[in-house]
Amino acid sequence: MTEPFADDFSAYESSPRSRGVALVLAVALGVFGGHRFYAGRTGSAVAMLCTLGGLGLWALYDMILIAGGDFIDGEGRRISKWDPTELDALPAGSNAELARMRQELDEMHERLDFAERLLSRPSSPEGDR
């Protein structure tokens, strides 16, 4: 018996393209299909260019899809990540440096939290002598 929810998540692979860049292109060049050229969908981009984005309706529809994270690129993957630089794409030295900086930031946060708790404590009348 096959399970209804298979472990094959390759169909849900997200695109390496940036959702933010696609949205900016859709707003700026939506009626000309700029975001579709960026996504690798040149056939529909040319059609969008010829119809001026379906007189704006097609462009508006694409803007909503991109903002919602449901726009598909040329390879059939969703453009869902806002940040185009993911940790996997960074060099190994950069990942180590980012991990060290996060650790330092966590330590600073703990110190600040401790200082805030210490300063918010009411002073005792005995300590005013």
Q: Give ∠ CA 10-13-16 in degrees, rounded to 5.
A: 145
CA proximity to 40, closest of 16, 57, 61: 16
CA atoms within 13 A on the CB side of 117: 6
SS3 label, residue 72: strand
pTM of this prediction? 0.58
Q: What is the mean pLDDT of each run of 10 residues along the chain (129 residues)?
A: 50 81 92 93 93 92 92 91 63 74 90 91 67
Instruction: State the pLDDT at residue 1.
Output: 45
CB 62 within 8 A of CB 73: no
DSSP H or E stretch at residue 50:
helix 42-50
Residue 62 token pair: 């694409």
Residue 102 token pair: 């996060």
User: In angstroms, how far is CA 2 from the centroid of its own chain?
Assistant: 34
**Amino acid at the residue 99:** A
